[in-house]
Structure 1
Amino acid sequence: MNRILLIFLSVFCIALLTACGGRTTETDNNTDRNNIAQNDIVKTTNRNNSNHLQNTHDQYKMKSQMEKLDFSEIDLEVSYAEQKEYEAEINHDNSGFIGGEVDDDLNNKQLRGKAAFDSIYPKVEKLTFSKGTNKKDAIDQILQSFDLPANYTKFELEIIFNDGTKMRYVD
C-alpha cells in the first residue's frame, strides 16, 4: 500500500511541477509580447508626434511664404491635345491648413502636400498679378513661369487675392 501511495504521490508531484513550469514560461512569453506591443505603441506615438511637429513646422513655413505673395490661393488647369493636362493648386482648407497639389500629365508627375507646394511656390513667386491684370498678360505670365507650352486647348486660372477678391481667367 505504501508503495502505491509513493508512486501516486510521485506522479502527482511531477504533473504539478510540469504544469507550473509551463505556466511560468507562458507568463514570461505573454509579458514579452505585452512589452513588445507597448514598445511598438511608444514608437508609433513618437513617430506620430514627430510627424505632427514636422507638419506644424511645414505649415508655419508655407504660411510665411504665402504671406509674401499678393494672393492666398491659386488654381490652375491647362489642357492639351491627347487628353494631357497640367493642374497645380495651392489652397487653404477651413482650418487654415495649406495644401498643394500637382497633376502633371506632360511630365508624368503627381505631387501632394508639401512636395506640391515646394514645386509650385517658386513658380508663383515670379508672378506679378494684380486685380487689374488682363487675361492675355495673366496667361502669358503663367505659361512662362510654369514653363508650359502655348498650344493649350483650354486654360483656366482662378486666383484669390489676400483681400478676398477672386479673379478667374478662362481661355
Structure 2
Amino acid sequence: MKRLGIILASLTCLFVLSAFSIVENSARYPNVDNTPMQNDDEYMREKMAELNFSEIDIDVEYQGGKEFEAEIDQDRNEPILAKVEDDLNNVYLRGREAFDHIFERANKLDVTSNSTKQQIIDQVLNAFDLPNDYIKIDVEIEFDDGKKVDIEDRK
C-alpha cells in the first residue's frame, strides 16, 4: 500500500511539473507559433512574391534513366508544395528545403510569358546548372499576369 502511495505521489509531481513547464514556456515565448507548416508557408509566399511567376514545374530526362524534377505548386487556400528529385546529383528534397533549393535558382530566371521557347529552355538549364544533352525537357510556368507557358522539347 505504501508503494502505491509513493507511485501515485510521484506521478502527481511529474504531472504538475510538466504542466508548469508548458505554462512557463508559453509565458516566456508568447509570440512563438509552434506550427512550422504555417511559418514555412508564409515564408514561401513572401519569397514567391519576389518572382514574376506563381508556379513552376521542370522535368528533364537524360540518358540512362536519369531525371531532374523541380516543382513549386501554389494553390489558393492550400499550403505551397515544393519538391526536388535530382537523379544527376542525388538530391531529393521536399517542403521548405526543396523550396529554398528551387527559389535560389529560379530567382536567376529572366523569363516572361512572352519569352520564346528556346529562351526559357536556355534560362532553365543555365539557372539550374543542368546539362543540355537532355532527351526531353518539359517546363511549365504560371506567370503573375495570368498566362501559362507549357514548353516541351525532345532531342
Query: Which TM bucket (shorter chain)?
Result: 0.7 to 0.9
- Displacement after TM superposition at 1:35 (Å): 4.7
Q: Is residue 28 of structure 1 aligned with residue 28 of structure 2?
A: no
Give the counterpart of 2:93 among 111, 136, 154.
111
Q: Matched residues in 2 for 1:124 and 1:158: separation? A: 13
Deviations 1:139-167 (A, max 9, x none): 11111111100110110010111133211
| Structure 1: 5+ residue stretches without partners | 1-18
Partner Cα separation in structure 2 for residue 80 and residue 32 of structure 1: 62
Counterpart residue number, 1:121: 103
Partner of 1:166: 148
Bigger helix fraction: 1
* 1:9-158 map, 5 Å: 19=1, 21-32=2-13, 34-35=15-16, 38=18, 42=22, 50-52=33-35, 54-158=36-140
Give the Cα–Cα distance (whole angstroms) in 1 for the partners of residues 4 and 120 of structure 2. Answer: 77
Deviation at 1:50, TM superposition (A): 4.4
CA distance in 2, matches of 1:100, 1:153: 24
Unmatched segments (≥5 aa) in structure 2: 27-31
Residue identity in the other structure for 1:156: D
Shift of 1:59: 2.7
| Inter-partner Cα distance in structure 2 for 1:99 and 1:155 | 21
Q: In percent, how many aligned pairs have the same letter?
A: 37
Read off the aligned partner of 1:112 and give its amino acid letter: R
Deviant stretches of 4+, over 6 Å: none
Q: How big is the alpha-carbon RMSD for the aligned residues of Structure 1 and Structure 2? A: 2.5
Q: Distance in 2 between matches of 1:61 and 1:139?
A: 28
What is the CA–CA distance in structure 2 between the aligned matches of 1:65 and 1:26, rounded to whole Å? 53
Q: TM-score, normalised by structure 2?
A: 0.80
Deviation at residue 51 of structure 1 after TM alignment: 3.7
Counterpart secondary structure, 1:163: coil
Number of residues of Structure 1 aligned to a counterpart in Structure 2 = 146
